[in-house]
Chains A and B, each alone.
Chain A
Amino acid sequence: MAEIEVALVAVRDIFQDEAGRKSLFSEEYRILSALITLDKQDMAGLAVKDGDKLLVKSEAGSIVVAARASKDDAKEAHPGLAFMCISPWYSQLVPDDGCERISVEATLAPTTASVTAIAEIQARMKS
């Protein structure tokens, strides 16, 4: 199965932020947070389309999120660069050194597993 490495950069999104302010535990917030935006070339390399699930692994941990193709055109292509909103899902991938919070090295691979639920993240805290 295809696997690629990316620099995963944390970003903000006004819609995700608003959903989180209403409830961190809502389905709306999960959908907008457990989402990785990839360049079209990387989507093709992984043989995934919008909504397919990806296992994202870093040295700190792993999560399952939904994939989405970037809307940037060819001129703004960014293969090897992926984006996720700042959220408890992104925090699962951040190492403890504090200097890499805005960007982490991650490996992506297609998966059939379900998107990581907030309850699962909470359970990890207790493990």
Chain B
Amino acid sequence: MLIPLILLALGAVFAGSIFYDAFVGHHAKEFWGSSIYTAPDNTVLKDKYSIPGWVFYAPLVVMVIGLAAALYFYLFNEGLGKKIADRKGMAHAFLENKWYFDELYEIVFVKGARALGDFFWKIGDGKLIDGLGPNGIAAALNFGSKKAVKIQSGYVYHYAFLMLIAAVALGAFVLFRGA
């Protein structure tokens, strides 16, 4: 385990200085050839020379701050990290939970998909499509035929009454058709 780690450590320290020229320095053009295509009016690769000088050193500065902080927390003042964690401050909780991205995704995507799926299934398919479509038509026919059955009461005067109404309606239709 030690030998691979040593090799990786060497690489980590020296890779930058060895490959700088080929990758981003004077020989970059020959190295990349046509692998990186830039449109004629795209100047992003040249623009890097016009940014302020401190930008180049910013990563180094941040790294040194990080290194110093790590040294302080874990070597010079061992246990400080645990102390801060035990206080359970908001910043610590925020970082501990990876900026709450998982929770956010859970609420938005997972629960959202479940809720939408249930809505489409139970309301969309169940109530709307089936409710108004096949089941609705079946229920309407059932209801209609149950009502229609009641007209067939078997009493002669009901039938006579219907005939009378029909005769009046027909008469009215014939009389007022021309009007």
Partners in one complex: no
